[in-house]
Amino acid sequence: MNRFCFLCVVMLHFLSCSATVYKEEYIEQILPFEWSFRAGEGDSRLWAIEELKESDWTSAFTNSLLSDQELKTEKGYGWYRTSFSFNSEMKIALKNSEAVVLNLGRFAACEEVYFNGRMIGKTGDFPDNFMGYSDNEREYTFFLKKEELNNENILAIKFHDGWSTGGFLDRNRVILTPAKIKDKVSLNVDVASHNYIFFGDEPLSFNVGVQNMNKRKIKGNLIVSLSTDDYRFIKEYVVPITINKKESSNEQFMFSNLSPGFYRCNVKFVYNGEDVVNQSFNLGYEPEKIDSKKDNKTDLREFWEANLLELSKIAPDYQLTYLEKESTSEYNIYLVTMRSFGSELIQGYYAQPNKKGKHPVIVEYMGYGSAPYLPNREWDGFAHFVLSIRGQGLNEKNSKFGTWITYGLDSKESYYYRGAFLDVVRAIDFVCSRSELDESRIGVRGGSQGGALSFVAAALDSRVKVAAPSIPFLSDYRDYFRIVPWPKKDIKDYLDKTPSMTWEKVYSVLSYFDIKNLSSWIKCPVLMGIGVQDEVCPPHINFAAYNQVQSQKKWMAFPNHGHSVGKEFYDESMRIFREVLDVNK
């Protein structure tokens, strides 16, 4: 072999060895299904690290719903815990990787994850600034301390779910893997507007930081794209970047000349042809100029005036049952039953103040399918009434209304929300019947379906003096169904089973129950809250209704919230209630 050939062989051998340095084989450690569970909010400083007490914790399985195990949360809160040591194969791999990827599978609805007492990641926020309603797959990457590689470790998860299903969803596996190169790259997006809403000549602008926590330099493409909220492509940037080890790269992006509306941004870093990190978020531009024209029929007002007349002919027959265990020194709590449109029996919870005088009252409407909950029981200057509309909440046990959104959808006369909207007015009738309440000082509020029903109450009943809807549902159906899959899916299933109905017939019926078409009737002040990242009741449909309101109005946007709003909205709504209803606590 001549010298040239020998050198070639040596070089090929060296390159071959070099290539294998970064070869990443898939190694995993699956944790056992059986963990410990405890209901309640707990103390993160203790419950994440202290020794378990058998009397306080019980066994729970991560591959099964809590409800299927006859386990319950406490006020939506619960904890999971387990202890484990890394197996020998993982130890070898982790010496090189130094970081671990924890995959929880699908999880609901917001949580904090602790490893040996330190928080390694979170999704959403707990009350009072609840940011939840997320049930996607969870994955967290974290770096190890040297002693953790060989010690027994404690993994703990504190979670909250207002729908009471939360924690691990069914058929889950909890998997640990050594972090690969791509797992040690992270994105940080910094939006130029504090609430992600832009106005006037402002471009939609944000900075993107890509952090490389690997021990080697990486090269790739940063790709940023923009589309409308109903997925119509607008523009894409592709920026090649190189990031040295343990360093970051920062780029600014701007999008101009946009129409009023909400937009989907997608940011991703592509390395070796693979999406390493990917982040999507919504931004808004001039939302009060969104042009979602009313599509009501000419007989809309006549239809609702006739319905209100029919409701007035139904004797409400109010019945109150005192709930001693739920009552406090400041409020007597009652279960209220009454008859509504079609003589349907509906129920609610009433908090009667234990103080003399004529009190203002807040009527609260519940979300679609919400579990029943009690009204406020700590003195805030108001009486409170929380209504369950027909077939939902307190009335769901004996419901005859099937899938509410599609029940009776073949005509406006038989449609579910005809009666449900009139239940909203019957709740106002109830509070006006109470001698201890001041019928000239009534406010309404609610989120999601409850937000829509707050619009309805203010539109159909002039006795409502102020409304604070959040993330409102039941609006701008044609655009709604182009933006997100639900409730369009339920209606599509209905159409598949009902050959006589078409989408046009459905839209014709829904036009009578679209809060966009009713909102111009509102005469009282309105405060609306939205979650900019909402994929259940997207901001576009929130503003479709809001923009038709002709009275005094104001909105608040929460940039990182999905189908929820922050505590600031609650605080501001109470301030406005007190101001409009002349309340000094």
Q: Are residues 285 and 318 both part of a single domain?
A: no
Tokens of 68: 């299927």
What was the pLDDT predicted at 131?
73
Hey, which residues does 332 pair with through a beta bridge? 352
d(CA 570, CA 470): 10
pLDDT for 304 equals 98
Q: Based on the fold, state whether residues 401 and 466 are members of the same structural domain.
A: yes
CA angle, residues 247, 193, 185, in degrees to nearest 5: 25
421 and 549 in a single domain? The answer is yes
Contact 183, 140 (CB under 8 A): no
CA 104 remoteness from chain centre = 19
- pLDDT less than 70: residues of the chain: 1-24, 54, 132-133, 162-164, 585
Alpha carbon distances (Å) from 327 to 40, 331, 334 = 22, 6, 8
Q: Is residue 446 part of a domain?
A: yes
d(CA 361, CA 338): 18
Distance, in Å, from the CA atom of 284 to the CA atom of 391, rounded to the nearest integer, reads 36
Q: Sign of the CA dihedral 104, 108, 109, 115?
A: negative
Do both 43 and 140 map to the same domain?
Answer: yes
Is the same domain home to 395 and 477? yes
* pTM attached to this predicted model: 0.86
* Helices 539-546/449-460 angle, 10° precision: 10
Token readout for 17 is 């060895």
Same domain, 323 and 194: no
Which residues carry out catalysis?
448, 534, 563
Q: Is residue 19 part of a domain?
A: no
CB atoms within 10 A of CB 427: 28
Would you give the distance in Å from CA 112 to the centre of its chain? 16
Q: Is 61 part of a structural domain of the chain?
A: yes
CATH number at 153 reads 2.60.120.260
Residue 15 lies in a domain: no
533 and 458 part of one domain: yes
Pairing status of strand 197-198 against strand 274-285: parallel
Nearest-angstrom CA–CA distance, 95 and 408: 63
Domain span at residue 443 reads: 300-580
Task: Classify residue 280 as left (phi > 0), alpha (psi -120 to 50) or beta.
Answer: beta
Q: How far apart are CA 313 and CA 307, in angstroms?
A: 10
Residues 351, 422, single domain; the answer is yes
Q: In this structure, is residue 21 part of a structural domain? A: no
Decide if 400 contacts 448 (C-beta within 8 A): no
Q: Indicate whether 23 belongs to any domain.
A: no
| CATH number, position 380 | 3.40.50.1820
State the total domains in the chain: 3
Percentages helix, strand, coil for the chain, rounded to the nearest 5? 25, 35, 40
